[in-house]
């Protein structure tokens, strides 16, 4: 399977709203094995995150917000434009890293605040991906996986 085919296969399933929303809700759980310094818990969380992207069936259509966000992200990942979404994504990633460090140092307040801010930025990013999807999907100027 080519990389573009594998990416398309994964995004088709991750575009299921159950996949997208359950993964978003799992964000704070990522800190539990770090806080507890538990490889076993880390393995469980990592297994869930890996499986989450592929265990749900493809959505029936692209009418759901989360579906359009994931499909927009797929288009965006292929092109990687330097836009506001890139800044949002980088800021969210920085907050996620801050949350991990705070969990390692067992600084609960900072870990909670960084995770909450990361999740809020992720919602902004999803809105940006929906806008990107609505603008570029089917317009003839996109780099969809179907073309790759």
Looking at the predicted structure, is the pLDDT value of residue 1 above 80?
no
Please tell me the least confidently modeled range out of 11-15, 42-46, 89-93: 11-15
Specify the pTM: 0.87
* Beta carbons of 10 and 52 less than 8 angstroms apart: no
Within a 13 Å sphere around the CA of 73, how many CA atoms are in the beta-carbon half?
20
Q: Which helix (H) or strand (E) holds 26?
A: none
What whole-number distance in Å separates Cα of residue 124 and Cα of residue 17?
17
Instruction: Spell out the domain ranges in the chain.
Output: 3-136
Token output for 139: 């317009």
Query: What pLDDT was estimated at residue 139?
Result: 53
Cα distances (Å, whole numbers) of residue 108 to 30, 101, 105: 14, 11, 9
For the stretch 108-124, pLDDT in tens is 999 999 999 999 999 99
Average pLDDT, the chain: 90
- Which sign does the torsion angle of CA 53, 131, 135, 64 carry? positive
């Amino acid at each position: 399977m080519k990389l573009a085919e594998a990416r398309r296969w994964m995004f088709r399933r991750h575009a299921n709203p159950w996949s997208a929303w359950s993964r978003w809700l799992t964000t704070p759980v990522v800190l539990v094995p770090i806080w507890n310094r538990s490889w076993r818990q880390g393995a469980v969380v990592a297994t869930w995150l890996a499986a989450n992207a592929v265990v749900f069936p493809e959505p029936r259509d692209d009418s759901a917000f989360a579906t359009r966000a994931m499909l927009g992200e797929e288009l965006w990942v292929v092109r990687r434009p330097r836009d506001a979404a890139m800044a949002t994504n980088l800021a969210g990633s920085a907050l996620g890293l801050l949350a991990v460090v705070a969990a390692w140092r067992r600084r609960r307040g900072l870990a909670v605040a960084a995770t909450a801010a990361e999740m809020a930025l992720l919602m902004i990013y999803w809105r940006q991906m929906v806008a990107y999807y609505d603008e570029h999907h089917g317009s003839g100027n996109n780099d969809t996986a179907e073309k790759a």
